Structure 1
Amino acid sequence: MTIHNVVRRAALAASVFTAAVAAVTVQAATSSAGLPACAAGQFDLRIQKPAVDDPNRPDQFDVILANNGPACTVQGFPGVDLTGPDDPTYGPTYSLPRQSVAAQPLTVQPNQAVASILTYQPGNWVPGTLVVTVPDTTTQLHVPWPAGVGVLRQDGATHPGTYIGPLAPL
């Protein structure tokens, strides 16, 4: 085999590999339903107590994202921060860790909502605002934290009792 044939075969293999990578990249950019990823601006954010309050479960809130735009897809966990008065040890922002479970891709139709369960340990620190970042975006949505509801800060804990769950259908 001549050096010319070796170079030609290497070039052909490289072009086949590049085409395969491009095809995978295009498929990853759109969902299986062909819908775009949800943008933060198409959601209205609210927080409420779960419809069924189980006294055997920790304290929880539903963090609800209601779609006021076109159908889209979302997957993962929202970024969630509680902001409030300055804590002398940790500062004014408590970034919640994520629950260690898998998240499923979701299609969110117009006027439908998805929710994430925020589980918290009651405590003395009372945040003023819930700040949510929709998965795969950087835009933050804000709503007031329920008045008088205190949270135990566990910044840096290895097994915190305060955390956010994955988005799920509401």
Structure 2
Amino acid sequence: MRTGNAVGRTMVAAGALVAAVSTGIVPAAISSAGLPACAASQFDLRIQKPKVDDPQRPHQFDVVLSNRGGACTTKGFPGVDLTGPNDPTHGATYSLPRQSVSAQPLTIQPKHAVTAILTYQPGNWVPTTLVVTPPDTTTQLRVPWPAGVGVTRQDGATHPGTYIGPLFPL
């Protein structure tokens, strides 16, 4: 009965579209064609309080990009640098590697946000600033790093415990 299958697929697709539109984040595959790529200038950057489930394990917090401009599309990982005091071996900037997962294309409606999870190993180096470059841009956004939160520098590590994840709907 082909009609039943087609109706079922249509209902599932319609339900996904309604759910996506209600959140303001639409997977690009079902978004309106022709939307511009998101520009760094249309984002406000903020970070949420670090999540500490187990002090012996890596900690995490959300890096949030809120769209204060028009609808736009993006995909990928933000570039993330931590800046702080000069480390005698590695310098004052720690460029975080990206998590080894794939990213999904997203359409971000005005006044909605996306987030990327920053995972870090606690340590003695205390950054002062979080510098974020949204995907496919070169403009950097900056916010103060949480006071007193130290990380372990792992510049060049093959399996670092500090990294940034891909953007996903908030």
Structure 1 and Structure 2 fold alike (TM over 0.5): yes
User: What is the one-letter code of the residue matched to 1:35?
Assistant: L
- C-alpha displacement at 1:55, in angstroms? 3.7
Q: Describe the superposition over 1:13-53 as per-residue Cα deviations: whole angstroms up to 9, x where unpaired.
A: xxxxxxxxxxxxxxxxxx86321100000000001136x76
- C-alpha displacement at 1:118, in angstroms? 0.1
The answer as to 2:122 corresponding to 1:122 is yes
Q: Is the 8 A contact 2:78 2:166 kept in 1?
A: yes
Who is 2:18 aligned against?
Answer: none
User: What is the one-letter code of the residue matched to 2:139?
Assistant: T
Distance in 2 of aligned mates of 1:156 and 1:58? 18
Distance in 2 of aligned mates of 1:115 and 1:154? 23
Shift >6 Å, 4+ stretches: none
Q: What pairs with 1:1-150 in structure 2 (closer than 5 Å)? A: 33-49=33-49, 54-55=53-54, 58-150=58-150
TM-score using structure 2 length: 0.78
Q: Which runs of 5+ in 1 are unaligned?
A: 1-30
Distance in 1 of aligned mates of 2:105 and 2:114? 11
Q: Which runs of 5+ in 2 are unaligned?
A: 1-30
Who is 1:28 aligned against?
Answer: none
Distance in 1 of aligned mates of 2:33 and 2:77? 20
TM-score using structure 1 length: 0.78
User: What is the one-letter code of the residue matched to 2:159?
Assistant: H
Distance in 2 of aligned mates of 1:100 and 1:33? 29
Distance in 2 of aligned mates of 1:151 and 1:92? 13
Change (3 A) 1:34 1:53: farther
User: How much is the aligned-residue C-alpha RMSD, in angstroms?
Assistant: 1.6
Percent sequence identity over matched residues? 81
- C-alpha displacement at 1:108, in angstroms? 0.4
Q: How many correspondences in the alignment?
A: 139
User: What is the one-letter code of the residue matched to 2:117?
Assistant: I
Distance in 2 of aligned mates of 1:32 and 1:111? 17
User: What is the one-letter code of the residue matched to 1:119?
Assistant: T
Distance in 2 of aligned mates of 1:147 and 1:85? 13
Distance in 2 of aligned mates of 1:100 and 1:83? 23
Distance in 2 of aligned mates of 1:97 and 1:113? 22
